[in-house]
């Protein structure tokens, strides 16, 4: 007992010392940035510096054999300036005062050049003063497992996935990401945020002659969270891996998904993509303004639609919520320092606000949220999604299906296609079940569905309760020129839609 108490005391002391050292270092860097900002020789209406340090560990295993085992660190700063009503940017990995001065001068020249073709004059009001901190909550820190322990964990997952000789390939991966950001500005902003991020994936491929089927842990890299290893090392982890392997084999002899118009019940891991593609992207204000069309398309939503457009049925309630513990894109401030809070984007089916930076909101004269985000220190913040969630309803899973005479239940995305206005879409899933007379019955393979965005969301007829609500995330939301792949989070209950076109065939 004495030894145990001694060990606990030593561990607590070590953790406290480490936290104190980290806090002191963070404060020292913030103080240094404030001093360097004051030392800049520049004529501008506003200046901001965002410094980011990111350390990423990436490990993957295929068929029990390690494929990748690496660690990298990136650090640098983005300087923003407001000159002649325009914002310019300059990035540097030279964090000396001279390096920041050079980046600031580049940003100034960019802003002055842009002012000749300005479409909207901005004021310092788009960069209000903010002061605060944020840190991801966690129980088991990301450095609690050594590289060898992570590799062994991934090898064991591959072994659990191999439930049959018909499993021809198994994969498992884990990416850890520890990111710190500091933001200071000429009008007194001081923000420090520290993120602990975990991306995980495992899956199996089964084959019987010409038939090949894949099954994964809730889709393509959907298990992405903020926090520590406790979010992945759950008591049912090994059982989940065996179930994934068994379902891959099960799909080899499953019935092909029928082609018909029917009731469609979507699991939360497919609702993640549905929300992302048909709600998140079309509500980005830069798409609506026309800024984004060259790379990723625009939106069917028009500026005049805010406050009036019936986006879906009255059961549709979508929130921007950066305050959910553990969700992948939670934060207190976006990358221009705007304070983030939970807001309804769509309430009872009506479109209320979009996803856009303070400058996009000023241009469109519409309310938005704090979602100007950059993927790294060398990219300027642009209008992005973060945590975008469908609020739970009142139906249990059993109640969702009890009145369905005929329908299809689908899980886990495997393919997606949507037009450049985010209007027409077609999605494929990994796994499906037939619903007959209020009961889940036989397994279906190669399930797909298609619709248009307003039509689909108006066919939302039942929304699952909190017991069906789950959150997922992805680090691969791409947008912008040059491209930025950023992390987003999506939470949703299971949802039932009426009269949806469902069809089979490989996707």
* pLDDT (tens digit per residue) in 475-507: 999 999 889 999 999 999 999 999 999 999 864
Q: Round to whole Å and give the CA distance between 448 and 500.
A: 10
Q: In a 10 Å sphere around its CB, with 0-12 CB exposed, 13-18 middle and 19+ buried, how is residue 226 labelled?
A: buried
Using one digit for the tens of pLDDT, what is the confidence trace for 91-148?
999 999 999 999 999 999 999 999 999 999 999 999 999 999 999 999 999 999 999 9
Q: Give pLDDT, residue 327.
A: 97
pLDDT at site 304: 96
Kindly state the DSSP code that residue 217 receives in the 8-state scheme: S
pLDDT (0 to 100) of residue 408:
98
**pLDDT at position 506:** 61
pLDDT bin (cut points 50, 70, 90) of residue 12 is very low
Residue 295: the pLDDT is: 78
Q: Confidence class of residue 219 from pLDDT cuts 50, 70 and 90?
A: confident
- Tens digits of residue pLDDT in 275-293: 999 999 999 999 999 988 8
Q: Is the dihedral of CA 282, 287, 292, 294 positive or negative?
A: positive
Torsion angle (degrees, nearest 10) of CA 332, 335, 339, 344: -90
Percent of the chain topping pLDDT 70: 94
Residue at token pair 């010409």: 210
Residue 350 pLDDT more than 60? yes
Pairing of the two strands 46-62 and 167-185: antiparallel
**pLDDT at 243 (0 to 100):** 97
Query: Are the C-beta atoms of residues 276 and 328 closer than 8 Å to each other?
Result: no
User: How do 260-266 and 382-383 pair as beta strands?
Assistant: unpaired
Prediction pTM value = 0.93
Structure tokens at 323: 């305050």
Whether 201 and 172 have beta carbons less than 8 Å apart is answered as yes
Tens-place pLDDT, residues 418-470: 999 999 999 999 999 999 999 999 999 999 999 999 999 999 999 999 999 99
Q: pLDDT tens digits, residue range 159-214?
A: 999 999 999 999 999 999 999 999 999 999 999 999 999 999 999 999 999 999 99
Name the pLDDT band for 1 (thresholds 50, 70, 90).
very low
| Confidence check: pLDDT of 13 > 90 | no
Q: Note the pLDDT of residue 296.
A: 78
**Contact (CB, 8 A) for 248 and 215:** yes
Neighbours of 62 (CB within 10 A): 15
Contact partners, residue 135, CB within 8 Å, separation at least 6:
193, 194, 195, 196
Dihedral of alpha carbons 477, 468, 215, 459, sign: negative
What mean pLDDT is reported for the chain?
Answer: 93
- Total Cβ atoms within 10 A of residue 215: 25
Q: How many CA atoms lie within 13 A of 327 on its CB side?
A: 24
When pLDDT is cut at 50, 70 and 90, the band that residue 16 belongs to is very low
Residue 3 has pLDDT above 50, yes or no: no
Report whether the peptide linkage leading into residue 205 is cis, meaning its omega lies within 30 degrees of zero.
Answer: no
Percent of the chain at pLDDT > 90 equals 90
Sign, CA dihedral 463-469-471-472, equals negative
Q: 20-30: per-residue pLDDT in tens? A: 545 666 678 88
């Amino acid at each position: 007992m004495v030894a145990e108490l001694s060990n606990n005391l030593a561990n607590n002391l070590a953790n406290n010392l480490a936290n104190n050292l980290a806090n002191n270092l963070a404060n020292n860097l913030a103080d240094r940035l404030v001093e360097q900002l004051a030392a800049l020789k520049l004529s501008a209406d506003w200046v901001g510096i965002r410094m980011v340090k990111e350390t990423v560990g990436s490990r993957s295993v295929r068929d029990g054999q390690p494929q990748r085992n690496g660690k990298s660190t990136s650090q640098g700063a983005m300087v923003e300036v407001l000159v002649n009503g325009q914002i310019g940017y300059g990035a540097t990995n030279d964090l000396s005062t001279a390096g920041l001065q050079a980046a600031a001068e580049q940003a100034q020249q960019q802003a002055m050049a842009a002012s000749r073709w300005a479409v909207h004059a901005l004021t310092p009001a788009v960069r209000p003063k903010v002061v605060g901190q944020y840190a991801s909550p966690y129980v088991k820190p990301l450095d609690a497992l050594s590289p060898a322990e992570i590799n062994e964990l991934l090898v064991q997952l591959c072994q659990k996935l191999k439930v049959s000789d018909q499993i021809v390939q198994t994969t498992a991966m884990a990416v850890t990401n520890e990111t710190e950001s500091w933001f200071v500005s000429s009008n007194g902003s001081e923000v420090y945020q520290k993120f602990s991020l975990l991306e995980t994936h495992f899956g199996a491929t089964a084959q019987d002659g010409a038939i090949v089927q894949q099954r994964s842990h809730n889709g393509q890299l959907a298990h992405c969270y903020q926090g520590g290893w406790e979010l992945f090392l759950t008591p049912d982890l090994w059982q989940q891996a065996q179930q994934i392997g068994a379902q891959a084999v099960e799909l080899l002899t499953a019935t092909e998904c029928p082609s018909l118009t029917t009731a469609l019940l979507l699991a939360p891991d497919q609702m993640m993509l549905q929300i992302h593609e048909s709600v998140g992207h079309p509500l980005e204000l830069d798409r609506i303004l026309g800024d984004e069309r060259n790379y990723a398309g625009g939106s069917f939503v028009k500026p005049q639609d805010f406050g009036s457009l019936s986006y879906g049925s009255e059961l549709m309630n979508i929130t921007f919520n950066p305050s959910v513990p553990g969700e992948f894109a939670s934060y207190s401030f976006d990358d221009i320092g705007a304070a983030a809070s939970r807001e309804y984007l769509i309430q009872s089916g009506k479109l209320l606000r979009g996803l856009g930076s303070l400058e996009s909101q000023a241009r469109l004269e519409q309310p938005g949220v704090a979602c100007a985000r950059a993927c790294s220190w060398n990219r300027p913040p642009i209008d992005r999604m973060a945590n975008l969630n469908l609020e739970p309803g009142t139906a249990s899973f059993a109640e969702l299906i009890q009145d369905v005479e005929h329908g299809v239940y689908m899980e886990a995305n495997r393919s997606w296609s949507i037009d450049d206005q985010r209007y027409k879409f077609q999605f494929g899933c990994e796994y499906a079940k037939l619903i007959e007379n209020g009961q889940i019955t036989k397994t279906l393979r190669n399930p797909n569905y298609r619709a248009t965005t307003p039509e689909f969301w108006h066919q939302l007829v039942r929304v699952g309760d909190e017991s069906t609500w789950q959150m997922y995330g992805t680090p691969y939301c791409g947008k912008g020129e040059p491209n930025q792949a950023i992390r987003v989070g999506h939470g949703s209950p299971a949802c039932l839609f009426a009269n949806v076109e469902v069809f089979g065939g490989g996707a």
